[in-house]
Amino acid sequence: MATVVGIAEMHMSQDPGDTLVTYSLGSCLGVTVYDPILKVGGMIHCMLPLSKIDTTKATENPSMFIDTGVIALFNAIFALGAKKERLIVKVAGGASPLDAGARFKIGERNYTVLRKVLWKNNLLLAGKSIGGTKPRTLRLELETGRTSVQSNGETVEL
């Protein structure tokens, strides 16, 4: 079974037969967390770097922003019993598909904020597919923890 994670959404799963998937990652970031012992995982699809631009929206939907959404993702996975020392964190997206002049750099800013959140929480990235101009599809298979990214008809494992 596949569970689709939409834009500004987050999903967790404890079902080993489940696959979490998010589509059309452009400047947005898709972040996965996985505990290989419990075989529990989560995925979030964040749009913007910092919640301070709209605190009301951040309160209503923390998944919209990297700084609030990734913390919510960690809290949700810990609530399922995952342990910080076992977490495998991977990310895809952060591209500039519509910003050819790189004026806004939203994808780059999203990735920078993610790295700061991870650093503050003493977590490292185990895999990434970041930047460029092409959209990506991100998948996390709960049975194995396999995380893959598809772009331009090509699939790579993170």
pLDDT tens track for 57-68: 999 999 999 999
A 10 A CB-CB count for 142 gives: 23
State the catalytic residue, choosing from 8, 10, 28, 113: 28
Q: Could you tell me which of 14, 37, 147 has the C-alpha nearest to residue 89? A: 147
CA of 148: how far to CAs of 55, 114, 136, 151, in Å?
Answer: 33, 19, 10, 10
Give residue 103's pLDDT band: very low, low, confident or very high (50, 70, 90): low
When the pLDDT of each residue in the chain is averaged and rounded to a whole number, the result is 94
Domain at 2-157: CATH code: 3.30.1330.200
Distance separating alpha carbons of residues 24 and 60, to the nearest angstrom: 23
In the predicted model, is pLDDT for residue 101 greater than 60? no
Q: Is 28 a catalytic residue?
A: yes
Higher pLDDT: 132 or 114? It is: 114
Extract long-range pairs of 71-75: CB within 8 Å, 24+ residues apart.
Answer: 71/117, 72/10, 72/44, 73/10, 73/31, 73/33, 73/42, 73/43, 73/44, 74/33, 74/121
Give residue 122's pLDDT band: very low, low, confident or very high (50, 70, 90): very high
